[in-house]
Amino acid sequence: MTPLLDVRDLEVGFNGRAVVHRISFAIAEGEKLALVGESGSGKTVSALSLLRLVQNARVGGSARLQGRDLLALSERELRGVRGDHVAVIFQEPMTALNPLYTVGEQIAEVLQLKRGLASEAARAAVLASLSSVDVVTVFEPGAAAALARAIRPDVLLCADACEAEGLSAPLAQEWGGEVKRLSAAVAVAE
Protein backbone atom coordinates (compact mmCIF):
# COMPACT_ATOMS: atom_id res chain seq x y z
CA MET A 1 0.00 0.00 0.00
CA THR A 2 1.36 3.42 -0.95
CA PRO A 3 1.85 5.70 2.06
CA LEU A 4 -0.31 8.79 2.34
CA LEU A 5 2.47 10.45 4.35
CA ASP A 6 6.06 9.26 3.97
CA VAL A 7 8.67 10.94 6.19
CA ARG A 8 12.31 10.08 5.57
CA ASP A 9 15.39 11.15 7.55
CA LEU A 10 13.63 14.07 9.27
CA GLU A 11 16.12 16.24 11.09
CA VAL A 12 15.28 19.33 13.13
CA GLY A 13 17.83 21.63 14.71
CA PHE A 14 18.09 24.95 16.50
CA ASN A 15 21.17 27.16 16.58
CA GLY A 16 23.34 24.46 15.02
CA ARG A 17 22.21 21.79 17.51
CA ALA A 18 20.15 18.84 16.26
CA VAL A 19 17.15 17.93 18.41
CA VAL A 20 15.57 15.39 16.04
CA HIS A 21 17.98 12.91 14.46
CA ARG A 22 16.90 11.35 11.14
CA ILE A 23 13.56 9.78 12.02
CA SER A 24 11.53 8.02 9.35
CA PHE A 25 7.96 6.76 9.30
CA ALA A 26 5.12 6.21 6.87
CA ILE A 27 1.35 6.26 7.30
CA ALA A 28 -1.10 4.69 4.87
CA GLU A 29 -4.73 5.72 4.57
CA GLY A 30 -6.69 4.69 7.65
CA GLU A 31 -3.62 4.12 9.84
CA LYS A 32 -2.65 5.83 13.07
CA LEU A 33 0.88 6.39 14.32
CA ALA A 34 2.13 7.51 17.72
CA LEU A 35 5.53 9.08 18.27
CA VAL A 36 6.38 8.12 21.85
CA GLY A 37 9.20 9.45 24.00
CA GLU A 38 10.17 11.36 27.08
CA SER A 39 9.21 14.97 27.59
CA GLY A 40 11.48 17.17 25.49
CA SER A 41 12.55 14.34 23.16
CA GLY A 42 11.30 16.11 20.02
CA LYS A 43 7.92 14.47 19.37
CA THR A 44 5.93 17.67 18.99
CA VAL A 45 8.77 19.45 17.19
CA SER A 46 8.90 16.57 14.71
CA ALA A 47 5.18 16.71 13.96
CA LEU A 48 4.97 20.50 13.72
CA SER A 49 8.11 20.66 11.56
CA LEU A 50 6.30 18.73 8.84
CA LEU A 51 4.31 21.94 8.21
CA ARG A 52 7.21 24.24 9.12
CA LEU A 53 5.30 25.53 12.15
CA VAL A 54 8.39 25.69 14.38
CA GLN A 55 10.12 29.07 14.35
CA ASN A 56 13.87 29.31 13.81
CA ALA A 57 14.22 25.60 13.13
CA ARG A 58 16.47 24.07 10.52
CA VAL A 59 14.52 21.18 9.00
CA GLY A 60 15.98 18.52 6.71
CA GLY A 61 14.93 15.26 5.13
CA SER A 62 11.69 14.76 3.24
CA ALA A 63 8.00 14.57 4.13
CA ARG A 64 5.96 13.43 1.14
CA LEU A 65 2.21 13.87 1.33
CA GLN A 66 0.59 12.12 -1.61
CA GLY A 67 3.92 12.43 -3.45
CA ARG A 68 4.55 16.15 -2.74
CA ASP A 69 7.50 16.98 -0.46
CA LEU A 70 6.07 19.29 2.21
CA LEU A 71 9.56 20.42 3.21
CA ALA A 72 10.31 21.62 -0.34
CA LEU A 73 7.08 23.64 -0.81
CA SER A 74 7.07 27.41 -0.82
CA GLU A 75 5.29 29.14 2.06
CA ARG A 76 2.41 30.00 -0.27
CA GLU A 77 2.05 26.36 -1.41
CA LEU A 78 2.27 25.17 2.19
CA ARG A 79 -0.59 27.49 3.23
CA GLY A 80 -2.74 25.55 0.77
CA VAL A 81 -1.79 22.28 2.46
CA ARG A 82 -2.29 23.45 6.06
CA GLY A 83 -5.83 22.81 7.19
CA ASP A 84 -7.05 21.35 3.88
CA HIS A 85 -4.76 18.34 3.73
CA VAL A 86 -2.93 18.39 7.06
CA ALA A 87 -4.55 19.79 10.21
CA VAL A 88 -3.01 20.21 13.64
CA ILE A 89 -4.61 19.90 17.06
CA PHE A 90 -2.14 21.74 19.26
CA GLN A 91 -0.92 20.53 22.63
CA GLU A 92 -2.21 23.49 24.63
CA PRO A 93 -6.00 23.87 24.30
CA MET A 94 -5.82 27.39 25.73
CA THR A 95 -3.99 28.55 22.58
CA ALA A 96 -5.58 26.31 19.93
CA LEU A 97 -8.75 28.38 19.62
CA ASN A 98 -9.41 32.02 20.49
CA PRO A 99 -11.73 32.44 23.53
CA LEU A 100 -12.89 35.85 22.20
CA TYR A 101 -14.85 34.14 19.41
CA THR A 102 -17.33 31.29 19.52
CA VAL A 103 -16.22 27.84 18.43
CA GLY A 104 -18.77 28.07 15.60
CA GLU A 105 -17.37 31.37 14.33
CA GLN A 106 -13.86 29.95 14.22
CA ILE A 107 -14.89 26.76 12.43
CA ALA A 108 -16.99 28.77 9.95
CA GLU A 109 -14.04 31.05 9.22
CA VAL A 110 -11.82 28.08 8.38
CA LEU A 111 -14.50 26.58 6.14
CA GLN A 112 -14.99 29.85 4.30
CA LEU A 113 -11.25 30.36 3.79
CA LYS A 114 -10.22 26.78 3.04
CA ARG A 115 -13.32 25.33 1.38
CA GLY A 116 -14.73 28.51 -0.18
CA LEU A 117 -18.11 27.97 1.47
CA ALA A 118 -20.63 30.79 1.57
CA SER A 119 -21.73 32.01 5.00
CA GLU A 120 -24.94 29.94 5.15
CA ALA A 121 -23.24 26.77 3.92
CA ALA A 122 -20.46 27.25 6.49
CA ARG A 123 -23.06 27.74 9.23
CA ALA A 124 -24.82 24.49 8.25
CA ALA A 125 -21.51 22.61 8.26
CA VAL A 126 -20.66 24.04 11.68
CA LEU A 127 -24.00 22.92 13.12
CA ALA A 128 -23.47 19.45 11.69
CA SER A 129 -19.93 19.21 13.11
CA LEU A 130 -21.03 20.38 16.56
CA SER A 131 -24.14 18.20 16.74
CA SER A 132 -22.54 15.11 18.27
CA VAL A 133 -20.05 16.70 20.66
CA ASP A 134 -20.63 18.51 23.92
CA VAL A 135 -18.86 21.85 23.53
CA VAL A 136 -19.37 24.64 26.02
CA THR A 137 -16.06 26.47 25.68
CA VAL A 138 -13.16 26.58 23.22
CA PHE A 139 -10.99 24.90 25.86
CA GLU A 140 -12.70 21.51 25.60
CA PRO A 141 -11.53 18.55 23.48
CA GLY A 142 -14.95 18.54 21.78
CA ALA A 143 -14.09 21.87 20.12
CA ALA A 144 -11.05 20.28 18.48
CA ALA A 145 -13.15 17.28 17.43
CA ALA A 146 -15.75 19.57 15.86
CA LEU A 147 -13.07 21.47 13.96
CA ALA A 148 -11.47 18.24 12.70
CA ARG A 149 -14.89 16.93 11.67
CA ALA A 150 -15.66 20.09 9.72
CA ILE A 151 -12.30 20.34 7.94
CA ARG A 152 -11.84 16.60 7.17
CA PRO A 153 -8.09 16.71 6.52
CA ASP A 154 -6.14 13.86 4.95
CA VAL A 155 -3.77 13.80 7.94
CA LEU A 156 -4.44 15.00 11.46
CA LEU A 157 -1.44 15.83 13.66
CA CYS A 158 -2.30 15.70 17.36
CA ALA A 159 0.30 17.18 19.65
CA ASP A 160 -1.01 15.22 22.63
CA ALA A 161 -2.17 11.60 22.90
CA CYS A 162 -5.02 12.60 25.22
CA GLU A 163 -6.31 14.99 22.58
CA ALA A 164 -6.05 12.25 19.98
CA GLU A 165 -8.06 9.93 22.21
CA GLY A 166 -10.60 12.73 22.79
CA LEU A 167 -11.08 12.95 19.02
CA SER A 168 -11.47 9.23 18.43
CA ALA A 169 -14.90 8.68 20.01
CA PRO A 170 -16.85 11.54 18.40
CA LEU A 171 -15.27 11.03 14.98
CA ALA A 172 -15.70 7.27 15.11
CA GLN A 173 -19.35 7.71 16.06
CA GLU A 174 -20.02 9.83 12.98
CA TRP A 175 -17.83 7.86 10.59
CA GLY A 176 -18.86 4.37 11.64
CA GLY A 177 -16.60 2.42 13.98
CA GLU A 178 -13.13 3.41 12.95
CA VAL A 179 -12.02 6.84 11.89
CA LYS A 180 -12.14 6.00 8.20
CA ARG A 181 -12.60 9.38 6.56
CA LEU A 182 -9.71 10.76 8.54
CA SER A 183 -7.09 9.18 6.36
CA ALA A 184 -4.23 9.16 8.83
CA ALA A 185 -3.31 10.51 12.22
CA VAL A 186 -0.06 11.23 14.00
CA ALA A 187 -0.61 11.33 17.73
CA VAL A 188 2.36 12.73 19.60
CA ALA A 189 2.30 11.10 23.02
CA GLU A 190 4.03 12.31 26.17
The string of pLDDT tens digits covering residues 110-160 is 888 888 899 999 999 888 877 766 655 555 656 666 676 677 788 878 766
What's the start-to-end Cα distance of the chain, in Å?
29
Q: How far is C-alpha 145 from the chain's CA centre?
A: 11
Q: Which CATH superfamily is domain 5-189 in?
A: P-loop containing nucleotide triphosphate hydrolases (3.40.50.300)
Map out the domains of the chain as residue ranges: 5-189
How far are the Cα atoms of 152, 165, 183 from residue 162, in angstroms, in the given order? 20, 5, 19
Quick one: pLDDT band at residue 11, thresholds 50, 70, 90?
very high
Q: Tell me the per-residue pLDDT of 72-93, one tens digit each, with 9 for 90 and over.
A: 999 999 988 887 788 777 766 5
Confidence check: pLDDT of 16 > 70? yes
Alpha-helical regions (H) of the chain: 43-49, 75-81, 93-96, 103-115, 119-130, 141-151, 161-175
- pTM comes to 0.71
Q: Please give the mean pLDDT across all residues of the chain.
A: 77
Residue 62 has pLDDT above 90, yes or no: yes
